[in-house]
Structure 1
Amino acid sequence: MPKLWNETIDAHRAAVREAILDTTAKLVAEGGLRAVTMSQIAEQTGIGRATLYKYFSDAEAVLFAWHERQVTAHLQQLAGIRDQDGTALERLTAVLQAYAGIARQRHGGELTTLLHQGEHLTHAERHVHGMLQHLLAEADDVRRDVPPAELAQYCLHALTAAASLTSESAVARLIAVTLDGLRPAA
């Protein structure tokens, strides 16, 4: 097959895959993770079920791919914030605020527990941990009696509590308390 033909086929497959994941995101937003079925995905995407099964073996596989795409987008968002202008503490604060916002987007239930066990999530957590560790090591006005790696772990664990908070003011207080824990002892 000519190279151009292969590129066209690959582009089409990528577009169909993205459409499937976009549809899945829409279905999740409308009815939650548990409500997503292969029939719904195929119908809403505008493809046949047989075509859908060429891409994914079951709804769980689609949800894993959708979740992996979400995690990748969150990592890109956090990296973009980390790379903005400002002091290390300002960038750290902005990353922590964004991370808390991401934590609030988590869906509940069994399926979320399943999705959060994937290797892609372990990789993402290590990546965010390293990002925070680097910012903490770079910041001048954080405590030095605790290694940056431990402070990064503290931040990650503290801000996962944002998932259960119901108001922006509660999240802001959680971030403030987390940042207070990073300040040097008086």
Structure 2
Amino acid sequence: MPRITGDSLVEHRAQLRGRVFEAFAELMAERSFDAISMAQIAERAGLGRTAIYHHFHDKEQVVLGFAADGTEAYLEQLEVALGEVDDPAERLRTYVRHQVENSHQFHMGLGPQLYAVLSPAAQVAIRDHVVQVEAALRGILTDGLERGAFRVDDLDATLSLIQACLAPRGLPLPAVEAFVLRAVGADG
């Protein structure tokens, strides 16, 4: 019988999932998704070759779990960052800063190349994670519009354009912040 490493079965499973996700992230940094096997993930995570299948049926489930875990952590950190901020422009600035400074941590390797090899059902599931993050931005923009702090003609287009501006490009954060705030007509 396998040894439980946490204080409870729930903690043990959380630790195991964390090791699998860490192993997956390391392997994705080294090679393409197609070149990674479940056996490699299991070995890197310190699991037996078959033990990983008790938790994940295939690599696609690992990707979906990894994405869900990352989205949850990202949104928790964003909520903390926004917690004490009331001014709409400062909330948008905080969102932009959080996205630019933390995207590498949460979006590693989950770009168009990986998305294209996933099943249609997995693509929908991944898109749901993007929608959760976009919902936070939508809330900030809607609040700013209602309070008269922003001027936006098309909320959906603005949301998409802001997200496109926040893709990793190595641009200086102050320039990105200033551009996004000007785009919504925010003062300051």
| Band the TM-score falls in, shorter-chain normalisation | 0.7 to 0.9
Partner of 1:180: 182
- The alpha carbon displacement at 1:97 in A equals 2.5
- For residues 100-179 of structure 1, the aligned pairs below 5 Å read 100-102=100-102, 105=107, 107=109, 108-113=111-116, 114=118, 117-118=124-125, 120-121=128-129, 123-137=131-145, 140-143=148-151, 146=153, 150-151=154-155, 153-163=157-167, 165=169, 167-169=170-172, 172-179=174-181
- For residues 24-35 of structure 1, the aligned pairs below 5 Å read 24-35=24-35
- The alpha carbon displacement at 1:85 in A equals 3.7
- The alpha carbon displacement at 1:103 in A equals 5.2
Residue-pair matches, total: 173
From the superposition, tell whether residues 59 and 15 of structure 1 become closer, same or farther in structure 2 (CA, over 3 Å): same
The CA RMSD measured in Å over matched residues stands at 3.1
Higher helix share: 1
**Which residue type is aligned with residue 9 of structure 1?**
L
TM-score, structure 2 as length reference:
0.72
Report if the CA contact (8 A) 1:92-1:135 is conserved.
no
From the superposition, tell whether residues 106 and 160 of structure 1 become closer, same or farther in structure 2 (CA, over 3 Å): farther
From the superposition, tell whether residues 70 and 116 of structure 1 become closer, same or farther in structure 2 (CA, over 3 Å): farther
Report if the CA contact (8 A) 2:25-2:108 is conserved.
no
From the superposition, tell whether residues 109 and 45 of structure 1 become closer, same or farther in structure 2 (CA, over 3 Å): same
Secondary structure of 1:98 counterpart:
helix
- The alpha carbon displacement at 1:33 in A equals 4.0
TM-score, structure 1 as length reference:
0.73
- The alpha carbon displacement at 1:14 in A equals 2.5
- The alpha carbon displacement at 1:152 in A equals 6.5
> In 1, distance between residues paired with 2:9 and 2:89?
47
**Which residue type is aligned with residue 132 of structure 1?**
I
Partner of 2:8: 8
Report if the CA contact (8 A) 2:71-2:129 is conserved.
yes
Mind listing any 5+ residue stretches in structure 1 that lack a counterpart?
1-6
Report if the CA contact (8 A) 1:106-1:163 is conserved.
no
- The alpha carbon displacement at 1:117 in A equals 3.3
**Which residue type is aligned with residue 157 of structure 1?**
L
From the superposition, tell whether residues 35 and 83 of structure 1 become closer, same or farther in structure 2 (CA, over 3 Å): farther
> In 2, distance between residues paired with 1:139 and 1:79?
20
- The alpha carbon displacement at 1:52 in A equals 0.3
> In 1, distance between residues paired with 2:23 and 2:141?
36
- The alpha carbon displacement at 1:99 in A equals 2.4
